[in-house]
A and B are shown apart, each in its own frame.
Chain A
Amino acid sequence: MPQQTKVDVALSCPVPIAATESILLGHGSGGRMSAKLLREILLPALQNPVLDRLNDQAIVDVGGSRIAFTTDTFVVKPLFFPGGDIGTLAVNGTVNDLAMGGAKPLFLSLALILEEGLPIDTLRRVMESIRVASALAGVVVVTGDTKVVEKGSGDGLFVNTSGIGLVSSGVRLSVDRACPGDLVLLSGTIGDHGITILSQREGLEFESAVHSDTAALHGLVAEMLRASGAIHCLRDPTRGGLSSSLNEIAERSNVSIELQECAIPIRDEVQGACEMLGLDPLYVANEGKLVAVVEPAAAESILEAMHQHPLGREAKIIGSVTDSHRGMVTLRTRLGTSRIVDLLSGDQLPRIC
C-alpha cells in the first residue's frame, strides 16, 4: 500500500466579523439584511402606529377620507431593458404599492437625480415612458423635483416617485391579516423581470426571449375586490421575489405558509436561466405580479375574476396558510418532501460550479 497522507484534524474556523459598520449592497436586497437595517436603524427613529404596520403603503384618515400614501426609488441597471425602462418601473412600482392597499391610485410625484454627462436623449426617452405609463395607469404626475450630481456621484439616473390614492371604506388589506386556513393566490409567472435584467447585465449577457412583466396592477386588484371582500392581504413580490413577500406575511401574521412547488407558474425561459445561473426563481424579482391571501370559500370566485383580467390570466392557487411552523414559509417539493423557503441574507449569489 502506498504511503498515505495522515490528516491532522485541527479545529479551524474564521473569526466572526464584528457588527457590520458600513452599508453593503446586501442591505438593499430585500432579504434579512434589509429587514435588520429597517428594524435596528430606521424604524426606531420614526416609530408610529401607521409606519409600524410595515405595509407597502400607509393608509391614513384625512377629513373622513382614507388616503393611501407611498414612495419608492428606482436604481435599475441597465436603464432600458426588454419590456420597459426605469420610467415605466417608476410609475408602475408606485401605483402597485398603492394598489396592494386596495387604493385607487390618483396622483404621483416625480423626483429625478441626474448624473453629469447623462445624454439628454436618454432622459427624453425615460420621460416619454413615464408619460405613457401614467396615462395607461390613469394617474397624474402633479409635482416633481430635479437634481444634478457630479459625474461619479450617481449612476446615470435615479428616479423617485411618491403616490397617493383613495381607499374605499370597506377595504381592509394588511400584511398581518393572514389566518390559518386561508389560501394563497398568485397572479402569474414569477421571475420574468429579474431574469430579463440579469440577461442584460454587463458581463452576463445571454440571449433570452423573456421580457420584464412591469405593469400597473390596480385594475386587477379592483376586479378582485369586486368579486369578494374576503381578501386579507395583497403583496407585489418585487425585489427579493415571491419568497420575501410570503416570508413577510408569515412573520407579520404569525402564521405558516405552505406552497406547492408544482403549482407555481414559471416560464421555461426563466427556469432554464435560473438552472444555468444557479438561482432559485422564488427569489427573483417581479414587477407586475401579485400574491393574495384570501378566505378559502372566496378563493374560486376571486380566481375567476383574476382569470378575466389580462394581468391575471395565469393566476393560480399556490399554497395555503397553516399554523404548523409559525413565521416560516415551507414548500412541498415535487418529490412530496418539505423544505423551508427562507428569507435570504443578502442578494442571491450565483454558485461557483
Chain B
Amino acid sequence: MKYLDEYRDEKIARGIVAELGRRATRPWILMEICGGQTHTLMRYGIDEMLPAGIELVHGPGCPVCVTSLETIDKAIEIASRPNVTLISYGDMLRVPGSRTDLFHVKAQGGDVRVVYSPTEALKFARAHPARKVVFFAVGFETTAPANAMAVWQAKREGLENFSMLASHVLVPPAIRALLSSRRNRVQGFIGPGHVCTVMGYREYEELIREFRVPIVVGGFEPLDLLEAILMLVKQLEEGRAEVENQYVRSVTYEGNLLAQKVLREVFEVCDRKWRGIGRIRESGLNLREEYAAFDADRIFGTVGVTAEEPAECISAEVLQGLKKPTDCSAFGTRCTPENPLGAPMVSSEGACAAYYQYRRHALTAKAEH
C-alpha cells in the first residue's frame, strides 16, 4: 500500500542494520518514549534485527499505562452513577482500578461508551440533553488538543450536560524525571513523533542542555525507528548530544501552533501522579478555572478520591526502562492480558502486552536452548 510499504521495506531495513553494525563500537542503551513505537518494535521484531549491544528499553509513553489508579477509580465512580454516560477511548475500559474496571461497570448497567474522537461525545451530549455526559480524557500532548477543542466548543455552545474528566500528561517532564533518577541507564531517546507533531521539539533542547543526552524525534513505522536508532548511535559514537528530527514528514521545529493555542486556552500545567512512577512536578494538564463548569472532577465531587497502589508487579521499573517485562516472575503466568496485574499488560501500547502478544515464542525458544 502506498505511503506504508515504503517504510516497511526489508532491503532498506537490512541496509540500516548493517550500517548500525559498522557504526556501533560499544554497547548503547536507548529508550523509545512512545507506546506506539514499542508496539511497532515488537510487532516487526526489530529487536531481533539489531546488532548485539544495542539495547532498547521501553518508556512510559503509554497513556493507558500511566493514568493513575485514582483517576481510573474516579471514572468508575462517575460511570456508576445514575443518569451519567461516560465516554472514552476503547483501551481505557479494560484498565483495572482498585476494585473493578469500566467493562464491568458497563456489564452492571452503567452507560459506558467508546468513541474515536471527543467530538463524538459532544454530539452525544447535544442529542441527549437529559443525560450528564462525561468524556474521560487521557493521553499525552497528542490527544490533548482535540479534547481541549471539545471543551472549548461546549463552552461556546453553552452545552451544560457535557463535562470532562481530564488526566493529560506531558512527555518532557517525564524524560526529566527519568534522567534525574539515580538508577537511570538510558543513554539516548527516540522522541515521540506524534507528540512533537503537536508541540514541535523546541522544549527538548532544554533537556539536552540539562542532561547532555541525544534525542531523535522518531516516527512509528519500522524504517522510521531503525533510522532514529542509527541517528542516535551516530551521535553517541561521535560524542554529540543534540535534538534531531527523523520524522520530518510530520514534525516541524515549532509544531502545530493552532493546536498549542487551544491547549493553552483550555488547559493549564499541573503536577500529576503517574501510575508506576509517582508524582512528577508540572507534568500534567488540567482544565483552567474559566472552564471549571466543565470539570467532571468538581461537578461530581471526586476531587479528593485517592487510591494506594499495592506492590504487586514491577511495572514501575518497566515504565522507567529499568527492567524488561520478561524480568517479571508473573509475566505470562499470573499476569496475562485476561488477568492483568498491571496496566502495561492491558493496552496494546503497553510494553508487557506487546511482549506477550508478539514475542512470547522467541522467549520460549531461548529458554529451550
B interface, CB within 8 angstroms of A: 1-2, 4-5, 8-10, 13-14, 36, 39, 42-46, 48-49, 63-64, 69, 72, 89-101, 103-104, 106-108, 113-116, 120, 123-124, 138-140, 142-143, 173, 176-178, 180-181, 183, 194, 210, 222, 275-281, 309-317, 320, 336-343, 347-349, 356-362, 364-365
Any chain B CB within 8 A of the CB of A203?
yes
Q: Is the CB of A22 within 8 A of B180?
A: no
Q: Flag the segment in A110-118, A177-185, A271-279 that touches B.
A: A271-279
Within the complex, which residue of B101, B139, B361 is in contact with A325, where a contact is CB–CB below 8 Å? B361
Q: Which residues of B contact A268 (CB under 8 A)?
A: 1-2
Cβ A338 vs Cβ B48 within 8 A: yes
A353:B140 contact, CB within 8 angstroms: yes
Specify which chain B residues have a CB less than 8 angstroms from the CB of A4 in the assembled complex.
Answer: 176, 180, 210
Contact check, B140 vs A351: say whether CB atoms are below 8 A apart.
no
A15 and B89 contact, CB distance less than 8 A: no
The reply to whether B194 and A353 form a contact with Cβ atoms under 8 Å apart is yes
CB distance from B89 to the nearest CB of A (A): 5
Residues of A within 8 A of B176 (CB): 4-5
Cβ contacts A324-353/B at 8 Å (1 or 0 each):
010010100111111110101110011111
Distance in angstroms from A280 CB to nearest chain B CB is: 8
Contact B338 A342 (CB under 8 A): no
Q: Which size class do A's interface residues fall under?
A: 35 or more
- Cβ of A45 under 8 Å from chain B: no
Interface presence of A136 (CB below 8 A): no
Interface residue A209 (Cβ < 8 Å from any Cβ of B): no
Beyond A13-B310, A342-B360, 19 additional contacts (C-beta under 8 Å) are: A2-B210, A5-B180, A11-B317, A12-B276, A12-B309, A12-B315, A14-B69, A14-B340, A15-B96, A15-B99, A16-B312, A17-B101, A336-B10, A337-B48, A349-B114, A350-B89, A351-B39, A352-B63, A352-B89
Contact partners of B42 in chain A: CB under 8 A: 339
Query: Measured between C-beta atoms, what is the minimum distance from B76 to chain A in Å?
Result: 12
- CB contacts (< 8 Å) of A344 on chain B: these are 337
Residue of A nearest to B316 (CB): A11
B316 to chain A, nearest CB (A): 5
Flag if A325 contacts B312 (CB, 8 Å).
Answer: no
C-alpha gap A346/B116 in the complex (Å) = 18
Contact B98 A12 (CB under 8 A): no
Write the nearest CB–CB distance from A155 to chain B, whole angstroms. 15
Residues of B within 8 A of A11 (CB): 311-314, 316-317
